[in-house]
Structure 1
Amino acid sequence: MKIAQIAPLAECCPPKLYGGTERIVSYLTEELVRQGHDVTLFASGDSQTAAHLVPCSAMALRLDPTIEDRLPYYVMMLDKVRQRAHEFDVLHFHIDLMHYPLFREMKNRIVTTLHGRLNLPDLQPFYEFFSELPLVSISNDQRQPMPPVNWAATVLHGLPSDLLMPMKKPRNDYLAFLGRICPEKRPDRAIEIAMATGMPLKIAAKVDPADEEYWQSYLKPLVDSAPNIEFVGEINEQQKSDFLGHAQALLFPIDWPEPFGLVMIEAMACGTPVIAFKCGSVPEVIDEGVTGFIVSNVQEAADAVRKTVNFDRARVRATFEKRFTVERMAKDYLDIYRNLVSQPDTFVDEISLSAEIIDLREAG
């Protein structure tokens, strides 16, 4: 198939540091190429891919200090996609909603994966207005706030099997928090859990400008005052196997409707169990007692930490290989693509019908 992947421009594909959506777009793109499909990736110019790359900004917008407004770059990218849309069997968008008016008439050749939270009030009238366009959710829970729309499927994320590997002799001497410093990710809960268990906690996370005040005024003082807490900062892909693989458990103490939670399956790939709060997608990702524990409060989390001392890490890895590989993710998306292109092109049919009506009127 000829497939276009349209990625966000905030990070490159794959991201050099933090970045969930662009990472998934990259894994999917490379797997589709590996399987022999003709893939074009619309992304930042510093992306690395085996697909045909169409640069839509010089570099990842988040890392370019000269960028003040990201919108113009997305408009230019969409114009490039629009000009070349006729070349593709399927156009797969990962940029939320900006493309809808431009590609509405191509609804049988486009699909959009929604990677973010959907419980924001301004999204409801939008998706009601464009309710016919096919959407993919990344968990079933993510769908809960939405009005009736055209769900094509739920596709859980997947990773390349050889990307992150278990440690042969994991140290199991600390707890890990990996992700982003922000109130909804609740790194403060991770600190509470570590204090309750007496275990060291390593926090590998980025601090966005929007969360700088939260970090400086609230979280950093907690980190500085606790001798068993270490703030590592952002880490790259090559550092994750070591960081996650040597941890006794990953703490995922979220307090928001998490659409998926990529870090959970990254930990599983390393054979590391996950202790996660029951929010959003967590029950769909964690197999209770197999890949980790689902908890409701700090005390339950602390008790779960103690249960992970002799956890079967080989079973965690085996569950990852069964449920969360990029091969499975690509298969799910290919099923969606093939179903799309098998449908009649209703836009063309409507044009043809209009022409016939005009012909009849003129003949009459």
Structure 2
Amino acid sequence: MKIAQIAPLFESVPPRLYGGTERAVHYLTEELVRQGHKITLFASGDSITSAELVPCTPRALRLDPDVANSTPHQMVLLDKVRERSVEFDVLHFHVDYLHFPLFRTEAGRTLTTLHGRQDLPDHLPFYAHFPEMPLVSISNAQRAPLPRANFISTVYHGLPLDLHKPAYDPRDNYLAFLGRISPEKRPDRAIAIARAAGLPLKIAAKIDHADEVYFRDTIAPLLDGPGVEFIGEINESEKTEFLGNAAALLFPIDWPEPFGLVMIEAMACGTPVLAFRGGSVAEIVEEGITGSIVESADEAVQRMPKVLSLDRKAVRARFEERFSATRMAAEYVKLYQKMLRMRASEHHLLSMVGHSAPHSHARAAVANDVN
């Protein structure tokens, strides 16, 4: 199949440092290429891919000091896709809903994976206005606030099996926090839990401009105490050592996490996850197998010994069974093929009905048949 993957421009594909959506797009793109599909990636010009790359901005917007407004760059991205859209069997978008007005007449050739939270009040009327656009959620929890939106499937993220080498006998005994410094990620909770449990904590996280005040006023003062090391952002190659040598990953979120890629990155390293309940967590973490799910910091401290005693080989085995890039790509390919079959069926029915009915009546017949 000929498939366009349309990525956000804020980070490169894959991102140099932090960037969950662009990382997921990268793993999907590379696996589809490996399986023999012809993939074209619309992304920032500093992206690295085995697919054909269509550069839509010279570099990732977040790392470009000359970019003050992302909107013009995103409009260029959509126009580049529009110019070449007839070349592809499927247009797979990962840019939220920016493309809906431009591509709604081609809804049958589009697939949109939503990567962000969907519980915001502005979303419901928007999706109701575009009911023909097929959507994919990255967890069942993510789609729950939008019961009338056109979700056709949930596809969990996946990682290449050889991306992270598991560590079954980690040399250190620290807890890890990996991701982003922000109020909803609750690094302050991670610090409190680690200190109450008497374990060192290492924090590898980026600080967005929007969260600089939160870091300065709330988190930085907590770093002055004992047992906490702030590392900053790390790249993909550094994650294996950081997560693999950790006794456990702390995931103390305070928001409806759509997926939480870091949880399966830890599992790939054989590292169990101690997470707060919310969003997708209950779909990702299996209690007593790959980690534990808690409701409070006190409960997290109580569960810590149990989490640290989990079989790291079993953690890695469940990752391989549930969260491989091969599985993720296979599920998307099934969706692509279903879309192609539906389009072929529509064209066939239109051609048959068109011989004996006006065009508008033929379209009505197709709609009734599909529904």
What TM-score results when the alignment is normalised by the length of structure 2? 0.93
Contact 2:288 2:310 in 1 (8 A): no
Give, in whole Å, the separation in 1 of the partners of 2:114 and 2:19.
15
Write out per-residue CA displacement over residues 83-137 of structure 1, whole angstroms, 9 at most, x where no aligned residue: 1100000000000011001111111110000000001111111001002210000
Contact kept, 8 Å, 2:177 with 2:202, in 1: the verdict is yes
Secondary structure of 1:294's partner? Answer: strand
C-alpha separation between the residues in 2 aligned to 1:9 and 1:112?
16
Matches within 5 A, 1:1-364: 1-167=1-167, 169-224=169-224, 226-344=225-343, 357=358
Task: Kindly state the Cα deviation for residue 16 of structure 1 after the two structures are TM-superposed.
Answer: 0.4
Q: Is contact 2:292–2:307 with CA below 8 Å preserved after alignment? A: no
Q: After alignment, is 119-128 or 243-252 more displaced? A: 119-128
Look up the equivalent residue of 1:11 and give its one-letter code: E
Distance of 1:277 and 1:136 partners within structure 2: 25
Structure 1 289/105 Cα, relative in aligned 2: closer, same or farther at 3 Å? same
Q: CA deviation at 1:172?
A: 4.0
**C-alpha distance in 2 between matches for 1:321 and 1:86:** 37
The question of whether the paired residues in 1 share the 8 Å contact of 2:46 and 2:58 is answered with yes
Q: Is the 8 A contact 1:28 1:326 kept in 2?
A: yes
Quote how far apart the aligned CAs of 1:171 are.
1.9
Are 1:21 and 1:115, in contact at CA under 8 Å, matched by a contact in 2? yes
Separation of aligned partners in 1, 2:183 and 2:359 = 59
Q: Which amino acid aligns with 1:256?
A: W
| TM-score normalised by structure 1 residue count | 0.95
Residue 29 to residue 359, structure 1, CA distance change in 2 (3 Å): closer
- Please state how far the C-alpha of 1:169 moved relative to its aligned partner: 3.2
SS of equivalent to 2:293: strand
Q: CA deviation at 1:308?
A: 2.9
Residues 183-202 of structure 1, C-alpha deviations (whole Å, 9 max, x = no match): 00111110110111110000
Q: CA deviation at 1:344?
A: 3.1
SS of the residue corresponding to residue 308 of structure 1 reads: helix
1:204–1:234 Cα contact (<8 Å) kept: yes
Deviation at 1:258, TM superposition (A): 0.4
CA–CA distance in structure 1, aligned partners of residues 146 and 350 of structure 2: 28
What is the CA-CA distance between 1:298 and the residue it aligns to? 0.7
**Residues 6-55 of structure 1: CA deviation (Å, up to 9, x unaligned):** 00000000000000000000000000000000000000000000000000
Alpha-carbon deviation of 1:341?
Answer: 1.1
SS of 2:184's equivalent in the other structure is helix
Q: Which amino acid aligns with 2:58?
A: A
Q: Residue type matched to 1:206 in 2?
A: K
Relative distance call for 1:148 and 1:348 in structure 2 (3 A) is farther
Residue type of the alignment partner of 2:231: V
Size of the aligned set, in residue pairs, is 359
Cα offsets for 1:271-329 (capped at 9, x unmatched) = 00000011010010001000000111111111222223332100000000000000000
Q: Which runs of 5+ in 2 are unaligned?
A: 362-371
Provide the C-alpha distance between the structure 2 equivalents of 1:102 and 1:358, rounded to a whole number of angstroms.
24
Distance 2:151 2:341 in 1: 16
Judge conservation of contact 1:171–1:248 (CA < 8 Å) in 2.
no
Contact 1:29-1:39 within 8 A present in 2 as well: yes
Give, in angstroms, the shift of residue 167 of structure 1: 2.2
d(CA) in 2 for partners of 1:156 and 1:359?
A: 39
Deviation at 1:210, TM superposition (A): 0.4
Query: CA distance change for structure 1 residues 6 and 347 in 2, over 3 Å: closer, same or farther?
Result: farther
| 1:193 aligned counterpart, secondary structure | helix
- CA distance, structure 1, for counterparts of residue 348 and residue 21 of structure 2: 33
Unaligned runs of 5+ in 1: none
For the residues of structure 2 that align with 1:339 and 1:231, how far apart are their CA atoms?
47
Name whichever of 75-84 and 143-152 sits farther off: 143-152
- Alpha carbons of 1:103 and 1:350: their partners in 2 closer, same or farther (altered >3 Å)? farther
Q: 1:350: Cα distance to partner?
A: 8.4
SS of the counterpart of 1:149? coil
Which region of structure 1 is more displaced relative to structure 2, 204-213 or 141-150? 141-150
Query: Residues 359 and 273 (structure 1 numbering): CA distance in 2 closer, same or farther, change over 3 Å?
Result: closer
Q: How has the CA–CA distance of structure 1 residues 227 and 347 changed in structure 2, closer, same or farther, with 3 Å as cutoff? A: farther
Q: Secondary structure at the match of 1:302?
A: helix
